[in-house]
Each structure stands twice: as structure tokens, then as C-alpha cells.
């Protein structure tokens, strides 16, 4: 079988608009968590345009349905909006069961839901720290444990975890968030080793700072703020060609490899130069107040 065409996440809008005519994911069933807004919504739109049947899971049920309806109005695959609380096993089970009943066996699970608190580590409320681990780590682990056994039985499948460049670096002001993403990297690495030879793939997509509600008030350092479309392009590319680590932008990969071999002082200097200090950037904490209050109480998915 010929390899599918390579889709670059640096492609132009005109090139992306051509994709629905090729629809390389026709016949594939893909579930996306936290897909009512932001990165998740962009990913769902991108995969549906490529021909996949896409299930949009979100804590906000109405938003999930509205998003599915809005995206379904454009050419592409079928879309289904469903309630999903990634911190609740029964909710995740119901979500996956409904997807398989309505659309068929899940070929790809995109674990996108995540939240972030920004500020001095000693000022972080305990419930904010616990919530980040519940959503960013245990929510992903829960999805993997529920969906991978079926994939392994079928001898094929793919889990794509939306992590962060914070899986490799740790910006000041994002201590717990970075810890959750480091944990996700380690867990995904170990599970990938267990699945070797089974036909089931695990991938990590690690973007820099993306223009979403989650990143409001934060700095990007020397790089530009990414769009959700750029991350969605990267996800499509890794679904078409599974591989473990995908950085957005790609040059971040070279920087993390360089940092890994530098001596301590040089590594610290590189970190200071390239990794934004979010404590210094967030001069007005009020810009994140509404978002962080909601994530502590309602556990909004990444936006």
C-alpha cells in the first residue's frame, strides 16, 4: 500500500483548504477529548475535513453538541458531540461506548483535555494542583487504559496525547503544570515500550505556547504564539504517520536535544534565554482569574 501524502503543519491556508478533497482519513473513527473549544475543536475540524468520523467529548455537553453541529455543516466526515468528564471513569466509559455504538471501533484517541494554573508555586491553591493532576495526568491515563485493550485485540490503533513543550522544559510560574506534562511524557514512554509489536501506537504532540484561553497572560519567549490550526496540522500529520515525539514548532526538538547534552551552567543559560519566565510575564493576575476559577470548580477542558 502506498504511503499517505505527507501533510505539513507549516502548509498554507490554501493548501489546507485542498485537503477535504483528498480525505485520507476516510473510514477512520477518532475520538477527541476537550474538543468543544481551542486546540481540541481545531483538531476535530482538521480530522473531520480529512474524512474521519470524529467524536467530540467535552465537559460542557451543549458546547460539544454545538461544536459538532457547526463543524458538521462543512464538507468532511461525520461528527458526534458527547458529554465527557475525563476525571470520571464512568463518564469516560460511557463516552467511548457511545462512540463505538454510533461510529464504530475507535481507531485513534486524541487526549487533549488539560488545564493550567500560573503563579508562584507557594501560592498555588491545593485544589488547583490536584485538579491539574486529575485532568492532565489521570484523565489521560484513564483514557489510555480504557481504549488500548480493544485496540490491542484488533491489532491496530493509535493514542495521541496532546502534551506541551513543558514536557521537556519547566517555565517559572508553571511548576505543577510542567510536572503534569513531564509525568505524561514518562507514562507515554513506558506504555509505548509495552505496546511494541502490537500494532498500537502512542504519540506525544508537544506545542509551545498556543493562542487559547489556557495561555492567557503568559509569554512565549523568543518564539511566536502558535495558532490552534498549527497544532491541528501537527496532529493530522502524526495520525497519518505515527511517531512518538512531535514538537510544534519543530525547532524546539533541536533545542531540547542540545540542552540535554550541555553542561549544567550552559544548560541553565540556554533555559534562561529561551524559556519564558511566566512569573515575570504575568504582571496582572486578574487576566487569568475567571479562567482559573472555572478550572478549579468546573474542570474546563483545555481551551
Q: pLDDT tens, 94-148?
A: 999 999 999 999 999 999 999 999 999 999 999 999 999 999 999 999 999 999 9
Question: Positive or negative CA dihedral for 155, 137, 118, 182?
Answer: negative
pLDDT value of residue 26: 93
Does the pLDDT of residue 12 top 60, yes or no? no
Cα 228 to chain centroid distance, Å, stands at 10
Which of 216 and 7 is assigned the larger pLDDT? Answer: 216
Sole residue written with cell 490536584: 130
Does the pLDDT of residue 297 top 70, yes or no? no
Alpha-carbon distance of 285 to 289, in angstroms, equals 7
Environment class of 249 (CB within 10 Å of its CB; exposed 0-12, middle 13-18, buried 19+)? middle
Q: pLDDT tens, 244-266?
A: 999 998 766 566 766 567 677 77
Q: pLDDT tens, 61-96?
A: 999 999 999 998 666 568 999 999 999 999 999 999
Q: pLDDT tens, 261-280?
A: 767 777 666 566 676 787 77
The model's pTM: 0.85
pLDDT value of residue 280: 77
Does the pLDDT of residue 159 top 90, yes or no? yes
pLDDT value of residue 283: 76
Cα 161 to chain centroid distance, Å, stands at 5
Share of the chain above pLDDT 90, in %: 62
* Average pLDDT value over all residues in the chain: 86
pLDDT value of residue 271: 62
Please pick, among 9, 177, 187, 291, the residue that the annotation labels catalytic.
177
Comparing 31-45, 53-67, 214-228, 238-252, which segment has the lowest mean pLDDT? 214-228
| List of residues 6+ apart from 172 with CB closer than 8 A | 277, 278, 279, 280
Nearest to 236, CA basis, from 94, 24, 31: 24
Alpha-carbon distance of 180 to 163, in angstroms, equals 9
Alpha-carbon distance of 49 to 62, in angstroms, equals 22
Grid coordinates of 183: 509525568
Q: pLDDT tens, 177-221?
A: 999 999 999 999 999 999 999 999 999 999 988 988 887 878 777
Do 300 and 294 form a contact (C-beta atoms < 8 A)?
yes
pLDDT value of residue 294: 73
Does the pLDDT of residue 8 top 50, yes or no? no
pLDDT value of residue 260: 65
pLDDT value of residue 265: 77
pLDDT value of residue 15: 42
Does the pLDDT of residue 13 top 50, yes or no? no
Active site residue 177: yes
pLDDT value of residue 38: 95
Which of 291 and 82 is assigned the larger pLDDT? Answer: 82
Does the pLDDT of residue 47 top 90, yes or no? yes
Comparing 13-17, 124-128, 232-236, 289-293, which segment has the lowest mean pLDDT? 13-17
pLDDT value of residue 74: 63
Which of 194 and 8 is assigned the larger pLDDT? Answer: 194
Amino acid at each position: 500500500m502506498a504511503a499517505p501524502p505527507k501533510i505539513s503543519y507549516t502548509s498554507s491556508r490554501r493548501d489546507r483548504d485542498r485537503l477535504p478533497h483528498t480525505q485520507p482519513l476516510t473510514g477512520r473513527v477518532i475520538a477527541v477529548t476537550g474538543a468543544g473549544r481551542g486546540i481540541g475543536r481545531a483538531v476535530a475540524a482538521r480530522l473531520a475535513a480529512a474524512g474521519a468520523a470524529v467524536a467530540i467529548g467535552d465537559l460542557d455537553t451543549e458546547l460539544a453538541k454545538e461544536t459538532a453541529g457547526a463543524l458538521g455543516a462543512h464538507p468532511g466526515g461525520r461528527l458526534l458531540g458527547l458529554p465527557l468528564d475525563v476525571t470520571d471513569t464512568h463518564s469516560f466509559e460511557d463516552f467511548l461506548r457511545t462512540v463505538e455504538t454510533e461510529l464504530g471501533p475507535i481507531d485513534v484517541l486524541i487526549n487533549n483535555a488539560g488545564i493550567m494554573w500560573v503563579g508562584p508555586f507557594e501560592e498555588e491553591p491545593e485544589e488547583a494542583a490536584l485538579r491539574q493532576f486529575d485532568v492532565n495526568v489521570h484523565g489521560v491515563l484513564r483514557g489510555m487504559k480504557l481504549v488500548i485493550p480493544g485496540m490491542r485485540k484488533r491489532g491496530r490503533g493509535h493514542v495521541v496525547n496532546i502534551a506541551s513543550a513543558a514536557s521537556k522544559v519547566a517555565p517559572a510560574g508553571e511548576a505543577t503544570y510542567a510536572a503534569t506534562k513531564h509525568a505524561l511524557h514518562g507514562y507515554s514512554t513506558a506504555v509505548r515500550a509495552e505496546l511494541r509489536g502490537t500494532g498500537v501506537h502512542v504519540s506525544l504532540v508537544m506545542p509551545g505556547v498556543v493562542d487559547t484561553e489556557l495561555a492567557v497572560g503568559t509569554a512565549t519567549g523568543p518564539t511566536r504564539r502558535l495558532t490552534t490550526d498549527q497544532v491541528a496540522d501537527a496532529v493530522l500529520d502524526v495520525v497519518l504517520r505515527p511517531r512518538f515525539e512531535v514538537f510544534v514548532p519543530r525547532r524546539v526538538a533541536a533545542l531540547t536535544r542540545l540542552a540535554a547534552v550541555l553542561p549544567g551552567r550552559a544548560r541553565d543559560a540556554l533555559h534562561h534565554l529561551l524559556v519564558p519566565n511566566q512569573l515575570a510575564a504575568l504582571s496582572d493576575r486578574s487576566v487569568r482569574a475567571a479562567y482559573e476559577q472555572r478550572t478549579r470548580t468546573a474542570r474546563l477542558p483545555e481551551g
